[in-house]
Amino acid sequence: MYLGVLKKFKNQMSMEEENQNNFKENILMVTMKDLLECGVHFGHQTRRWNPKTKKFIFGVRKNIHIIDLQKTLRYFRYTYNIVRDASAQGKSIMFVGTKKQANETLKEFAESIQVPYVNYRWLGGMLTNFSTIRKSVRKLEIIEEMENSGQIDLLTKKEKLMILRKKEKLDKYLGGVRHMKKIPDMIFVIDVAKEKIAVAEARKLHIPIVAPLDTNCDPDLVDYPIPGNDDAIRSIRLFCKEMSEAILEGRELMQEEIVHADENSEEIEFVSNEEKEEMLAEIQKEITQGAE
Are domains 2-127+183-254 and 135-176 of this chain identical in fold? no
CA of 115: how far to CAs of 1, 43, 118, 154, 155, in Å?
Answer: 42, 29, 10, 36, 35
The answer for residues whose C-beta is within 8 angstroms of residue 33's C-beta and 6 or more apart is 13, 17
Q: What is the pLDDT of residue 29?
A: 80
- Is pLDDT at 260 greater than 80 in this prediction? no
Topology (CATH level 3) of domain 2-127+183-254: Rossmann fold (3.40.50)
The mean per-residue pLDDT over the stretch 185-205 comes to 98
The answer for residues whose C-beta is within 8 angstroms of residue 158's C-beta and 6 or more apart is none
Per-residue confidence band for 269, with pLDDT thresholds at 50, 70 and 90 = very low
DSSP string covering 115-145: --EE-S-PPTTTTTTHHHHHHHHHHHHHHHH
Q: What is the pLDDT of residue 285?
A: 61
Q: What is the pLDDT of residue 36?
A: 96
The CATH number of 135-176 is 1.10.287
Q: What is the pLDDT of residue 282?
A: 64
Dist. CA 168–CA 155, nearest whole Å = 18
The mean per-residue pLDDT over the stretch 279-283 comes to 59
Q: Which of 231, 190, 222, 226 minimizes the C-alpha distance to 56?
A: 226
Mean of the per-residue pLDDT values of the chain? 87
Alpha-helix runs per DSSP H in 89-229: 100-112, 130-149, 157-174, 196-204
The answer for residues whose C-beta is within 8 angstroms of residue 290's C-beta and 6 or more apart is none
* Tally of CB atoms within 10 A around 263: 10
CB-based contact 219:53 (threshold 8 Å): yes
**187 compared with 7, residue with greater pLDDT:** 187
CB-based contact 95:122 (threshold 8 Å): no
- Is pLDDT at 34 greater than 60 in this prediction? yes
Q: What is the pTM of this model?
A: 0.80
133-152: pLDDT as tens digits: 999 999 999 999 999 999 99
Q: What is the pLDDT of residue 283?
A: 57
- Is pLDDT at 250 greater than 60 in this prediction? yes
The mean per-residue pLDDT over the stretch 86-114 comes to 97
- Is pLDDT at 58 greater than 70 in this prediction? yes
Q: Which of 134, 162, 164, 135 minimizes the C-alpha distance to 147?
A: 164
CB-based contact 225:74 (threshold 8 Å): no
Classify residue 262 as exposed, middle or buried by CB count within 10 Å of its CB (0-12, 13-18, 19+).
exposed
- Is pLDDT at 287 greater than 60 in this prediction? no
CB-based contact 215:68 (threshold 8 Å): no
Q: What is the pLDDT of residue 289?
A: 60
Per-residue confidence band for 14, with pLDDT thresholds at 50, 70 and 90 = very low
Q: What is the pLDDT of residue 256?
A: 85
CA of 239: how far to CAs of 48, 121, 222, in Å?
Answer: 22, 20, 15
Picking from 120-124, 139-143, 219-223, 274-278, which range would have the lowest pLDDT averaged per residue?
Answer: 274-278
- Is pLDDT at 272 greater than 90 in this prediction? no
Q: Where are the domains of the chain?
A: 2-127+183-254, 135-176
Q: What is the pLDDT of residue 198?
A: 98
